[in-house]
Amino acid sequence: MQIFLDTADIGEIRERAAAGLVDGVTTNPSLIAKAGAGIFERIAEICEAVEGPISAEVVATDAEGMIAEGRRLRDIAANVVVKLPLTADGLIACRALSQDGIPTNVTLCFSLNQALLAAKAGASFISPFVGRIEDMGGDGIGLLAAIRDVYDRYGYDTSVLAASLRSPAHVEAAALAGCDAATLPPKIFDQMVRHPLTDSGLEAFLADWRKTGRTGLDG
């Protein structure tokens, strides 16, 4: 499963991409605004930092406007994926951009019906919002599994990109549900690395080594 960072903070992205574990980045207007950057400038910076898919979202709400903005965003770099809302106009824009060979990420998905329509419109990625579904008492992970089953059953090429993940447990569940990718905030990415037993085990090993009076492998 690919791991994407959900942020527009270029410093956070560069720091975590250094280990080669970041496969892509997702952004949205809220994240860009929070970063205090211009959309085109920041997307260009992110595309230079990470070679994989970089989702850049349109702000227009009509199909014609989304298509025009999508083409402008795609001109930034070859790894830009145009992010579109799952609305009737968004699906029209998805179809048009997909037919032009421009990859798309259809976001704000909350149902299997929506995911089915996005796949039929030619979406490259579908982004179901797990955390927000669970906030309303729904089964976000169950939706991921259902989308995976339907896409596989009918041969859709759309990749399932789990979004709105709130914990490392969500990431594990998304992987078990067969998602192609998961996007997560940097703090969740960092939490995936850590485990208290790893920390205590390392401390025990180092404590035993210090008892030998040596400071490194060579003495």
pLDDT of residue 219: 61
Residue in 150, 164, 67 with CA at minimum distance from that of residue 110:
164
Measure the CA–CA gap between 207 and 200, rounded to whole angstroms: 10
Measure the CA–CA gap between 117 and 95, rounded to whole angstroms: 11
Per-residue pLDDT tens digits of the chain, which is 219 residues long:
999 999 999 999 999 999 999 999 999 989 999 888 899 999 999 999 999 999 999 999 999 999 999 999 999 999 999 999 999 999 999 999 999 999 999 999 999 999 999 999 999 999 999 999 999 999 999 999 999 999 999 999 999 999 999 999 999 999 999 999 999 999 999 999 988 888 888 888 888 788 888 777 776
What is the dotted CATH code of the domain comprising 2-194? 3.20.20.70
Measure the CA–CA gap between 66 and 139, rounded to whole angstroms: 30
b/e per residue 30-39 (b: at least 16 CB within 10 A)? ebbeebebeb
Torsion of CA 104, 110, 111, 112, to 10 degrees: 40
Distances (CA, A) of 209 to 29, 188, 196, 206: 51, 32, 20, 5
Ordered by start, the domain boundaries in the chain are 2-194
Measure the CA–CA gap between 134 and 141, rounded to whole angstroms: 9
pLDDT of residue 210: 82
Q: Write out the E strands in 97-216.
A: 104-109, 125-128, 159-162, 181-184
In the residue annotation, 211 being an active-site residue is answered as no
Measure the CA–CA gap between 154 and 124, rounded to whole angstroms: 15
Q: Residues 83, 120, 187, 211: which is the catalytic one?
A: 83
C-alpha gyration radius of the chain: 20
pLDDT of residue 150: 98
